[in-house]
């Protein structure tokens, strides 16, 4: 068994080694011929190790084992390729993007969708202002196994999401997330502040795993308040909750449809809205969050 573990580790290590810059497939001497030869030699070596472990005569190829090894190699290489691509595509926030004062999104081009008078700034600055990536010119978030694409990178606790053009996700059969995209690419953000509730809990939470709760349901804050739940004193904090606001408005809101809110609002963390002097809207459920003015 130890030998099997060592063989598996060697398989992973060598595949990752061949992926490294300067030694990756396609960059190595010989191009595709080198790729195919490396694959054959590597799988043959691994076959000998596994045949010895399983007590199989390595001089007489076992087609089932060979097929499994080649399949494992190709699957591991594909996964390593995806990981490397995601790493190479990671943005440090310094690239230039374009925003408008009342717009929800940041853009990679200054005239996306006919926008005018866009201001150029770094991606990091746009994110600090609560702007989301434009699903048309920047892309949406998803994971390889997800059935939806998202406007928010951590929607419903999603991890390790990749940012890709929406057409690419659609080509893979993914559709707009019903939570953060509201079924429409034009919406791009939830229509209400999202919270988490355990079936028998008396609180609504900003974090799905607060104090060890399990199987929490994600819902609109209006549903949580209507069910008689109040804000969790542990996790419902301005730094954990998204709200809606406009630059010149006096309030932050928990509903993008609040009559006191303009259409071109931004979805921002509550601590950002409070930092700019905004207080809870008296018409929507913002007061249910329990944030003190100036908190």
In a domain, 227, yes or no: yes
Q: Are residues 112 and 153 in the same domain?
A: yes
102 in the same domain as 66: no
Same domain as 285, residue 201: yes
- Domain end (from 63, 89, 115): 89
Same domain, 100 and 149: yes
Least confident segment among 38-52, 163-177, 182-196: 182-196
> Would 144 be classed as within a structural domain?
yes
Q: Is residue 189 part of a domain?
A: no
pLDDT in tens, 55-66: 777 777 788 877
Same-domain status, 131 and 113: yes
Per-residue pLDDT tens digits for 204-262 = 998 888 887 877 888 889 999 999 999 999 999 998 888 888 777 888 999 877 887 76
Q: Do 108 and 160 fall within a single domain? A: yes
The tally of domains found in the chain comes to: 3
pLDDT band at 92 (very low <50, low <70, confident <90, very high): low
Residue 181 lies in a domain: no
171: containing domain:
96-176
Q: Assess whether 74 and 105 both reside in one domain.
A: no
Does residue 28 sit within a domain? Answer: yes
Determine, yes or no, domain membership for 138: yes
Q: Model pTM?
A: 0.41
Per the listing, tokens 């419902």 go with: 236
Say which range, 37-46, 250-259, 261-270, has the weakest mean pLDDT: 261-270
Looking at the fold, whether 171 and 211 belong to one and the same domain comes out as no
Q: What is the dihedral of CA 287, 193, 108, 78, to 10 degrees?
A: 150
* 279 and 206 within one domain: yes
Within a domain: residue 295? no
Q: In this structure, are 57 and 109 located in the same domain? A: no
* Residue that finishes a domain, picked among 58, 89, 120: 89
Considering only residues 225 and 163, tell me which one the structure prediction assigns the higher pLDDT.
225
Q: Give CA separation, 143 vs 86, 105, 146, 225, in Å.
A: 11, 21, 5, 32
Question: Which residue among 120, 148, 176 closes a domain?
Answer: 176
Assigned domain for 56 exists: yes
Q: Which residue has the higher pLDDT, 115 or 99?
A: 99
At residue 265, does pLDDT exceed 50? yes
- The predicted pLDDT at position 9 comes to 53
168/133 same-domain check: yes
């Amino acid at each position: 068994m130890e030998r099997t573990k060592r063989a598996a580790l060697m398989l992973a290590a060598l595949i990752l080694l061949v992926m490294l810059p300067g030694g990756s497939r396609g960059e190595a001497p010989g191009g595709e011929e080198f790729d195919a030869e490396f694959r054959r030699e590597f799988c043959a070596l691994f076959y000998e190790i596994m045949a010895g472990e399983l007590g199989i005569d390595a001089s007489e190829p076992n087609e089932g084992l060979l097929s499994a090894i080649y399949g494992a190699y190709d699957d591991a290489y594909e996964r390593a390729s995806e990981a490397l691509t995601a790493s190479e595509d990671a943005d440090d926030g310094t690239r230039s993007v374009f925003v408008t004062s009342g717009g929800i999104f940041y853009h990679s081009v200054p005239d996306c969708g006919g926008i005018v008078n866009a201001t150029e700034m770094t991606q990091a600055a746009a994110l600090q202002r609560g702007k989301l990536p434009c699903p048309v010119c920047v892309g949406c978030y998803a994971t390889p196994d997800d059935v939806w694409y998202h406007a928010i990178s951590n929607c419903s606790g999603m991890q390790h999401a990749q940012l890709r053009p929406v057409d690419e996700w659609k080509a893979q059969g993914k559709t707009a997330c019903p939570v953060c995209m509201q079924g429409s690419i034009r919406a791009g953000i939830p229509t209400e502040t999202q919270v988490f509730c355990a079936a028998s809990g008396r609180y609504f939470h900003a974090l799905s795993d607060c104090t060890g709760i399990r199987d929490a349901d994600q819902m609109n804050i209006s549903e949580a308040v209507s069910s008689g739940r109040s804000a969790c004193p542990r996790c419902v904090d301005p730094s954990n909750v998204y709200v809606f606001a406009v630059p010149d408005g006096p309030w932050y809101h928990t509903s993008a449809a609040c009559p006191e809110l303009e259409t071109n609002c931004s979805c921002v963390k509550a601590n950002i809205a409070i930092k700019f002097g905004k207080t809870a809207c008296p018409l929507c459920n913002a007061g249910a969050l329990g944030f003190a003015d100036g908190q």
